[in-house]
Amino acid sequence: MAKAKTVYFCSECGGESVRWMGKCPHCGAWNTLVEEKVAEEPKSVLPGRVHVRGAKARPIGEIVASKQKRLLTGIEELDTVLGGGLIPGSSVLLGGEPGIGKSTLLLQAAARMTGYGRVLYISGEESPEQIRLRAERLDCLKDELYLLATTDIGEGLEQARQLQPALIIIDSVQAVFSPDLDPAPGSVTQVRAVAAAAIGLARELDAAVMLIGHVTKEGMLAGPRVLEHMVDAVLYFEGDRFNAFRLLRAVKNRFGSTNEVGVFEMSGAGLVSLASPSAYFLSERSAARPGSAVCSVIQGSRPMLLEIQALVTPSTLGNPRRLAAGFDFNRLLLIIAVLERRLGLPLGNKDVYLNIAGGLRLADPAADLAAATAIVSSLKDIPIEDGIVLCGELGLLGELRGVPQTERRLKEAAAFGFKAAICPPEKGAKEEAVRRLTAADLPAALKILGL
Ligand code: TYD
Ligand code: MG
């Protein structure tokens, strides 16, 4: 047994330090160093690591790149986000908060991928009985789907070598560990070792590997970010646990773009791909009511129509309350400041609540105009006329700024029966599917709406 020494790893970036410090010298994060014991001379504890010997550099032109074979997971939205399916020998990390549906998504994918051969699902979190019960409900009982409940990565890899599966799933990198290493499961050393072993095995067996990883409250992958550098693709599964809507986003993809998003609805029968998110978001919207506005936002590369709701009530507090659900809080403060200063609206003694219906977390500034008009509509208790969609980023002077891909946003609005759109003026704007009402600033937009 090699002598153990103590080192300190940063739980944010995975950087190594010889002594404890308040601030990580690698990434500058505070209070993130954790003590871990590692063997003095690293033993060969990574059974799956491949050593390519005698490799020689070649001119790029001489390298033959055959078009890579892709394995379709059979879940359309997942395939889109992956860039057209999984590549054998590659590794994908799926991150998300606990309970969001990571195990469900990969179990559904596992069952469908049995068409390519065996699939091995290694779970360090649930028993085979639990997974079987879930598989029954999800109609995922397939002969070629193998389950292994273990927390020992070594056992998992051994089974994989025997079964020669086309896909290996590890649920999760925090729960599975290598008993040969001293540090606790989920520690930087362990997570790194598990991932390295799995990635090595994927190359060895020419199988695709999908790793599940939990994220912390801050939305980071628990454990080191180094994991993100090791794998070929990193996907994040987002959503509000109390809401059925789920968004799958790629933050890194060596084999495709990171521009695509997948949208799902969590139902009694597992995750269902949502071909038309707009229909889902607008399904519960009733006729025009004060405080409700519809905007056309772009998520990934697809346009979606969303309802933004605002409620403005007299405040009994010295400091009026501002609350945003699904909308950036600082943007809400900025919009309120513009409404107060540029339009002279009395919001200083009012509580303002803003909500994106349906559980989406919005980051598209094109929703500013809809948020601002929803607030004015609630304040004045006048509804926004039905059939009008709003698009535009709000500047500090109250001006409206153009947003990218207006044409596609308006096309989506037309498809859902909207008659008109209020947008900032745009040079060279073509004939649109809906009537385009241009407004250069917020007062002009509100005038069109009679607010
Ligand atoms: P799960 O996949 O276990 O989440 P994770 O692996 O990300 O922690 O799914 C958790 C939740 O999903 C669970 O609380 C119940 C819900 N769920 C459904 O609503 N319908 C279903 O068919 C399944 C399987 C789960
Ligand atoms: Mg799980």
Residue owning the nearest CA to atom 25 of ligand 1: 270
| Protein residue with least CA distance to atom 8, ligand 1 | 99
pTM recorded for the entire structure = 0.82
DSSP codes of every residue in 127-154: -HHHHHHHHHHTT---TTEEEEE-SBHH
CA of 355 to the centre of ligand 2 (A): 29
Q: Phi-psi region for residue 290, left (φ > 0), alpha (ψ -120 to 50) or beta?
A: beta
Handedness of CA 400, 403, 409, 411 (dihedral sign): positive
CA 104 – ligand 1 centroid, Å: 6
pLDDT score at 258: 84
Cβ of residue 96 lying under 6 Å from some atom of ligand 1: yes
Quote the CA–CA distance of 305 and 327 in Å, as a whole number: 15
| Ligand nearest the Cα atom of residue 102 | 1
What 8-state DSSP symbol labels residue 94? E
CATH of domain 71-274: 3.40.50.300
DSSP string of 275-324, one letter each residue: S-HHHHHHTT--S--TTEEEEEEEETTEEEEEEEEEEEEE--SSS--EEE
Could you tell me how many residues make up the chain? 451
Residue whose tokens read 């990193």: 234
Please report where in the chains the tokens 């309970």 appear, as a residue.
99
Ligand 1 proximity of 270 Cβ (cutoff 6 Å) = yes
3 state DSSP class of 418: coil
- How far apart are the C-alpha atoms of 235 and 253, rounded to whole Å? 8
| Predicted pLDDT of residue 67 | 73
Ligand 1 in contact with 223 (CB < 6 A)? no
- The ranges assigned to domains in the chain are 4-41, 71-274, 280-449
- Structure tokens, 168: 């290996």
How does pLDDT run along the chain (451 residues), one tens digit per residue? 556 788 888 877 778 888 899 998 888 888 888 888 777 655 555 555 555 567 788 888 888 877 778 999 999 999 999 999 999 999 999 999 888 999 999 999 999 999 999 999 999 999 999 999 999 999 999 999 999 999 999 999 999 999 999 999 999 899 999 998 888 888 888 888 999 999 999 999 999 999 999 887 666 666 657 788 899 999 999 888 788 899 999 999 998 888 888 999 999 889 999 888 999 889 888 778 999 999 999 988 889 999 999 999 999 988 999 999 999 999 999 999 999 999 999 999 999 999 998 888 888 999 999 999 999 999 999 999 999 999 999 999 999 999 999 989 999 999 999 999 999 998 877 777 789 999 999 999 999 999 9
Read off the DSSP letter of residue 91: E
Structural tokens at position 332: 């809400």
Strand partners, 7: 36
Q: Which atom of ligand 1 is nearest to the CA of 172?
A: 6
Strands (E), 124-217: 145-149, 167-171, 208-214
CA–CA distance, 356 with 299 (Å, rounded to integer): 14
Which of 125, 173, 266 to mutate for ligand 1's pocket (most ligand atoms within 8 Å of CB)? 266
Dihedral of CA atoms 255, 261, 266, 271 in degrees, nearest 10, equals -30
| CB contact at 8 A, 146 and 165 | yes
DSSP label at residue 17 = E
Measured by CA distance, the residue closest to atom 22 of ligand 1 is 270
Ligand nearest to the CA of 124: 2
Ligand 2 centre distance from Cα of residue 101 (Å):
7
Cα-to-centroid distance, 36 and ligand 1 (Å): 33
Tell me how far the alpha carbon of residue 30 lies from the centroid of ligand 2, in angstroms. Answer: 30
Beta bridge partners of 35: 8
Which of 103, 104, 169 gets mutated to test ligand 1 (max ligand atoms within 8 A of its CB)?
104
Q: Does domain 280-449 have CATH number 3.50.40.10?
A: no
Q: Looking at residue 433, what is its pLDDT? A: 76
Q: Kindly state if the Cβ of 134 falls inside 6 Å of ligand 1.
A: yes
Q: Which residues lie across from 294 on neighbouring strands?
A: 307, 389
